[in-house]
């Protein structure tokens, strides 16, 4: 995507070329549109996450409870919850990945169920039951990028992981992409091509502080969730016991999106 007089010129792999008033790069952590604005690269976290589904029929009755469960341990953590109307339990098991060449970020890389059991097979409660029942799993290498100070030009902007890829430890990546879309739509409502630079600047100013804080919080959570046993871990557990409820996290969950930035039209005087 290259800015040019009167718009942005887009060249596609099939040889076609288009010109647009504005381009929104919503093309994920490896964003091609971001590359036209920045030279940074995804940063490997040193962590990987095994993900998959287990039929609840292969698990003890406790797996049928409609709960999100979380186990924390030194260096890793395990989350599971029912999906597909309770037919399956979805699990996500975070582990350190061996040093060396970091694996490329991919949602389709197979993992080794025996390696998963090697880490979590002796964990308590449902964790051991779930990993014992796994016959196929995926292993996802976790990447993010540092927050940007700016992600728009006069005619190009970014949205979602293209703008602010984050580690999944606040479960906010897709949520923030949706918030971006709501705020961008509000900013662009009623705008002519000549107003685009100001509207994109407004969108960026609305979104960068919030998403940057969540990117940093998600990185910070990796350390907090994986504390070794000791006083810091006991303080974390005590705090989580008090502040786990959604009502204690209104800054995250009660955020209002899609606020109009266009001043209401002056009423036309009658007569
Ligand atoms: C393990 C894990 C767990 C997660 N858990 C949560 C969670 O619980 N809650 C949450 O909110 N988020 C979670 N996320 C984050 C969430 O998945 C992402 O933040 C979200 O998918 C980002 O959406 P996006 O549309 O910005 O990017 P993507 O979903 O990456 O979509 C980008 C799209 O652009 C396309 N594309 C890329 N390049 C090009 C190109 N050159 N031309 C055309 N198309 C292109 C891609 O094919 C893709 O379809 C998790 C992520 C991971 C890895």
Residue 64: CB partners within 8 Å, gap ≥ 6? 56, 82, 86
Confidence at residue 271, expressed as pLDDT on a 0 to 100 scale: 43
Residue 229 domain-assigned? yes
53 touches 90 (CB < 8 A): yes
Confidence at residue 111, expressed as pLDDT on a 0 to 100 scale: 92
Q: Which residues span the domain enclosing 112? A: 43-144
Does 178 lie in the same domain as 137?
A: no
Confidence at residue 247, expressed as pLDDT on a 0 to 100 scale: 82
Q: What is this structure's pTM?
A: 0.90
Residue 68 domain-assigned? yes
90 touches 80 (CB < 8 A): yes
141 touches 106 (CB < 8 A): yes
Give the domain-ending residue among 128, 144, 160: 144
Residue nearest atom 39 in ligand 1 by C-alpha distance: 27
Ligand 1 pocket test, candidate residues 158, 173, 178, most atoms within 8 A of CB: 173
Confidence at residue 264, expressed as pLDDT on a 0 to 100 scale: 46
Determine the Cα–Cα distance for residues 15 and 249; give it in Å rounded to an integer.
Answer: 48
Ligand 1 pocket test, candidate residues 16, 28, 68, most atoms within 8 A of CB: 28
Confidence at residue 249, expressed as pLDDT on a 0 to 100 scale: 85
Residue 152 domain-assigned? yes
pLDDT less than 70: residues of the chain: 1-6, 260-271
Q: What H or E segment, with its residue span, contains residue 137?
A: strand 137-144
Does 112 lie in the same domain as 76?
A: yes
Token pair 């998600």 is at which residue? 218
Confidence at residue 5, expressed as pLDDT on a 0 to 100 scale: 65
Nearest partner of 49 among 228, 174, 205, 222, judged by Cα? 222
Confidence at residue 142, expressed as pLDDT on a 0 to 100 scale: 95
Q: What's phi and psi for 24, nearest 5 deg?
A: -110, 115
Give the domain-ending residue among 121, 144, 167: 144
Query: What length does the chain have?
Result: 271
Confidence at residue 260, expressed as pLDDT on a 0 to 100 scale: 57
Determine the Cα–Cα distance for residues 15 and 12; give it in Å rounded to an integer.
Answer: 6
CB count within 10 Å of CB 44 equals 17
Confidence at residue 128, expressed as pLDDT on a 0 to 100 scale: 97
């Amino acid at each position: 995507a290259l800015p040019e007089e009167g718009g942005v010129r887009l060249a596609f792999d099939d040889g076609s070329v288009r010109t647009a008033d504005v381009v929104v790069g919503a093309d994920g952590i490896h964003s091609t549109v971001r590359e036209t604005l920045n030279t940074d690269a995804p940063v490997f976290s040193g962590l990987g996450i095994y993900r998959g589904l287990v039929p609840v029929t292969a698990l003890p009755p406790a797996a049928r409870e409609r709960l999100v469960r979380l186990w924390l341990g030194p260096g890793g953590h395990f989350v599971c919850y029912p999906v597909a109307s309770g037919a399956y339990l979805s699990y996500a098991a975070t582990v350190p990945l061996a040093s060396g060449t970091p694996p490329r970020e991919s949602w389709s890389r197979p993992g080794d169920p025996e390696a998963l059991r090697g880490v979590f097979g002796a964990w308590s409660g449902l964790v051991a039951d779930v990993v014992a029942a796994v016959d196929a799993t995926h292993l996802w290498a976790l990447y993010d990028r540092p927050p940007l100070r700016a992600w728009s030009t006069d005619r190009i902007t970014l949205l979602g992981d293209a703008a602010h890829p984050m580690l999944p430890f606040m479960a906010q990546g897709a949520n923030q992409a949706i918030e971006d879309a709501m705020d961008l739509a509000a900013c662009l409502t009623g705008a002519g091509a000549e107003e685009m630079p100001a509207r994109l600047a407004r969108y960026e100013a609305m979104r960068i502080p919030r998403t940057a804080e969540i990117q940093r919080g998600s990185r910070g959570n990796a350390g907090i969730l994986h504390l070794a046993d000791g006083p810091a871990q006991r303080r974390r557990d005590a705090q989580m016991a008090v502040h786990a409820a959604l009502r204690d996290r209104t800054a995250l969950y009660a955020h209002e999106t899609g606020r109009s930035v266009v001043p209401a039209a002056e009423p036309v005087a009658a007569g």
